[in-house]
Structure 1
Amino acid sequence: MDHQPPPFFKRGPAPVALLSFYVALSIALLVVDVRFRTLEVLRQGLSMFTHPVQHLAHFPAQFLDNAGSYFATLTRLQDENAELKRARLENVATLLRSQQIEVENQRLRKLLGVKERQQVSGQVAQILYSARDPYARRVVIDKGQQDKVVAGQPVIDDAGIVGQVTRVFPFVAEVTLITDKEQAVPVQVVRTGLRSVVFGLGSGQLELRFVPANADIQNGDVLVTSGLDGIFPPGFPVAKVVHIESDTAYSFARIFCVPLAGVEHFSEVMVLDPRPPVVLPEELASEATGKDGKASARSGQAKKKRLKRD
């Protein structure tokens, strides 16, 4: 007799076939997401639901940190208070002198008709955790679209430049550190005024490139932002030179630096507001417009000549 099972109990597709189908589907979704960013909206929507879970997951660590700070010994706090008072008294003379210099500087700017440097503004954010990508230097902060954070904003701490906002979600944002391989910051050597560009190496260090082998640069030189990129305000500390490899056989020297900001530590940072666009004076703007018009006229005449020849 034939003992075939009823149709209700028939076996479905083989497990290997199902596994192959789901693997192919996953790879296809990954490729489509990387190439066309089709799942970005879905990812942002899911982040709204996972944000409370992430907040609860970080709550024990935050509680322990707060508890440790709360139970700090009274003796240590008194010592720190006394040290701060002593430092404040020692810096009174310097502060008063700095105020006097600032007043004189403002007076000279008014006399020379020089526009004062714009004051930077921003909002304080907390670094929550490092990004999950092991090959990138990124951190996640607790400010997002609801706080009017946008991609491209510079991020600093109390020691210097930390990085730049690269991705923004409703409640959090991702900051790419200056030590990431994809980051480059135009800088200037404080001691000599030499301008160049510092690149991240992905290992916690930076490399100052495009510097001639015979340039006047030495270990300990401090690099600050030059502001030429229109993103980072000028004058903010970036890195310090720690090692120089000069070879006359090569045109450029290899200069390694370490960041001055605490880019590898979990702390508070400030997200600076975007820099306003540079407005050219009317004379320069008219000159630029005239040059563009002349260039377009020359290109038009060249096209007419080519057409006549043809």
Structure 2
Amino acid sequence: MKPLFARGPSPTFRVFFAALTALGLIVADHRHQHLEMVRSALAFLTYPVQYAANQPTELVRTTREQLASTHELRVENAELHRENLLLKARLQQFEALEAENIRLRDLLGSSLDLGERVVIAEIMSIELAPYRQQVMVNKGTKSGVFIGQPVLDANAVMGQVVRASPFSSVVLLITDADHALPVEINRNGLRTIAAGTGLSQELELLYIPKNADVRAGDLLVTSGMDGRFPAGYPVARVTTVRQDPDNPFTTVIAAPTARLDRSREVLLVWNLSETSRQQALAGDATKARGSQ
């Protein structure tokens, strides 16, 4: 039987012919660029296939970038949120420090005006019992604090020390129901007693005759008659003057000048004689020179 197809060129000849053809095409394209149009046409025809084949990879890359960007934005947002909270907290601290500096300047200015030996103390706690007006400060007998020592803020008298331990003391405020303070009206020198009522913004003046010259707005200052509070410290201002038919005395109510419910620092005062004051000032100056 004869074969169905005639036998063609040998494989070796085919390889040689293909290599020669490829070499010729390379030389022709390199020297004369005759195949540029063919290459462009083939690239145009194969672009959709390349684009479709590249889409899965491009989609994966785009998704990763978006996820990474979203994650980075979330991390950056959380970091900025934390920084914002920290900055706000620091701002609050700065505002608190500024307010504290203002209060301390007021206290120091008040101590210079008093011309007495003073120590600044900070209020640690307050008494929460009804009608009990007491606070605890962070100075005690180690700082020279003694029972009965006058206590002031930057504005006026606050009270006196009733208990003292080595590192803290309890101050009875002038509004406590058990506290009474000799005072006088600064306008006319009328002497009386300012008694606490148990209310934080109220004092009552005792035994005021009905014909006494007392007016709303009068400033009450310490009279010094008790030998404990030096004379001339502001105490309160008269707010109410009322005549009651059933009361043989005039009802007079006054509001403390000190910020009893707001002050955080207080002054512990020593009532020094002129000689003692000079000795204290000389001792302070010697300590200052020694520290330098």
- TM interval, shorter chain, is 0.5 to 0.7
CA distance in 1, matches of 2:186, 2:175: 20
**Which residue of the partner structure matches residue 232 of structure 1?**
229
**Greater alpha carbon shift after TM alignment, 246-255 vs 147-156:** 246-255
**Which residue of the partner structure matches residue 210 of structure 1?**
207
Q: Specify the SS of the correspondent of 1:210.
A: strand
**Which residue of the partner structure matches residue 137 of structure 1?**
133
Structure 1 residues 160 and 228, CA gap change in structure 2 (3 angstroms): same
Q: Deviations over 1:209-268 (max 9, x none)?
A: 111012111111110000000011100100011111113553211111110001122421
**Which residue of the partner structure matches residue 10 of structure 1?**
none
Structure 1 residues 69 and 200, CA gap change in structure 2 (3 angstroms): same
**Which residue of the partner structure matches residue 190 of structure 2?**
194
Q: Kindly report the root-mean-square deviation, in angstroms, between the aligned alpha carbons of the 2 structures.
A: 2.7
**Which residue of the partner structure matches residue 162 of structure 1?**
158
Q: Deviations over 1:121-164 (max 9, x none)?
A: 12111111202544410001010121121111000111100000
Decide which of 123, 139, 154 is 1:127's aligned counterpart. 123
Paired residues of 2:131 and 2:177 also in contact (CA < 8 A) = no
**Which residue of the partner structure matches residue 222 of structure 1?**
219
**Which amino acid in structure 1 is aligned with residue 153 of structure 2?**
D
Q: What are the within-5 Å matches in structure 2 for residues 11-50 of structure 1?
A: none
Superposition misfits of 4+ residues, deviation over 4 angstroms: 64-67
CA distance in 2, matches of 1:71, 1:198: 37
Indicate whether 1:265 and 2:262 are aligned. Answer: yes
> If you compute each CA radius of gyration, which structure gives the higher value, 1 or 2?
2
Structure 1 residues 159 and 71, CA gap change in structure 2 (3 angstroms): closer
Indicate whether 1:146 and 2:170 are aligned. Answer: no
**Which amino acid in structure 2 is aligned with residue 228 of structure 1?**
M
Same amino acid, percent of matched pairs: 37
**Which amino acid in structure 1 is aligned with residue 125 of structure 2?**
Y
Paired residues of 2:153 and 2:263 also in contact (CA < 8 A) = no
Structure 1 residues 243 and 261, CA gap change in structure 2 (3 angstroms): same
CA distance in 2, matches of 1:137, 1:243: 22
Q: Specify the SS of the correspondent of 1:151.
A: coil
CA distance in 2, matches of 1:122, 1:214: 40
Paired residues of 1:213 and 1:247 also in contact (CA < 8 A) = no
**Greater alpha carbon shift after TM alignment, 190-199 vs 128-137:** 128-137
Paired residues of 1:213 and 1:250 also in contact (CA < 8 A) = no
Structure 1 residues 157 and 144, CA gap change in structure 2 (3 angstroms): same
Q: Specify the SS of the correspondent of 1:240.
A: strand
**Which residue of the partner structure matches residue 37 of structure 2?**
none
Query: What's the TM-score once normalised by structure 2's chain length?
Result: 0.54
Q: What are structure 2's unaligned runs of at least 5 residues?
A: 1-87, 103-113, 274-292
Query: What's the TM-score once normalised by structure 1's chain length?
Result: 0.51
Paired residues of 1:144 and 1:170 also in contact (CA < 8 A) = yes
CA distance in 1, matches of 2:239, 2:180: 18
